[in-house]
Amino acid sequence: MTRDLPDGLPDRRRGRLAGRIAVIGGAGSVGPGWGNGRATAVIFAREGATVLLADRDEESLEVTARQIRDEGGTAHASVLDVTEPAAVQAYFAECERRAGRVDILVNNVGGSRPGGAVDLSLEDWESQLRTNLTSAFLACKHAVPVMRRGGGGAIVNTASASGLRWTGAAQVGYAAAKAAVIQLSRVSAVEYAPDGIRVNTVVPGQLHTPMVEARLAHQRAGGDVAKLLAQRQARIPLGFMGDGRDTAYAALFLASDEARFVTGTELVVDGGMTARCD
């Protein structure tokens, strides 16, 4: 078993998504390295998909798109706030106009705020639901009709281990929203199965993504990145942290024909953390 991936993505290119049109929300990254969205976009493009990228950070989005194009892939980038209903509706109409259909949707937008029910403000609670849950709802709402017209598709929603259990810090808004994402996927999977649309959830655990340095260390460890990494790694039975590439490879399986009989379920990517009883 290899614990350490090289700094770049292993270039495996087996054409698992050849000819597919894939929309990836949250395709940028809050810093250098492999966030979930950027890794997913690059891997999907390498596997033959035309990727339609959306993110509210234009500069970060362009970094992802440029990497894909430099490798010979096809990427179209659009600045989008996925919490704005009219903007999301217009975006999927444009995707259908541009590409003719949408075969794959990956909802990857998210972010946490610390605080339990007492400490978290109502404003932050509503913001957490809007960012982590409403974003996925809106994308599904407007992607499903396009997928129906195209004969089916695959939706992969990104939740979090915090939606399954306590993961070491009070973040009630984030945890509640991510738990709801899992149920959004399950209900949608059953409802839209007759349309040939599969809906599943990737559930990442405590990964070492750019989010750790950019935000989490300041929220939870006074800016001490090494301290936060040690705390997170101590919870993982495998003894090391994955990163956005691990989430991306899980999403690749669920989006591909290899998962043709998989819907309404969760693929947990957490090094065994949620299997622990302590």
The catalytic residues are 174
Q: Where are the beta strands (DSSP E) in the chain?
A: 21-25, 50-55, 74-79, 104-107, 153-158, 197-204, 266-269
* Full DSSP string of 195-263: GTEEEEEEEE-S---HHIIIIIHHHHSTT-HHHHHHHHHTT-TTSS---HHHHHHHHHHHHSGGGTT--
Of 23, 30, 113, give the one whose Cα is nearest residue 76.
Answer: 23
Tokens of 254: 């669920």
Q: Give φ, ψ of 198 to 5 degrees.
A: -95, 140
Tokens of 160: 């979090």
**Tokens 């591909």 sit on residue:** 256
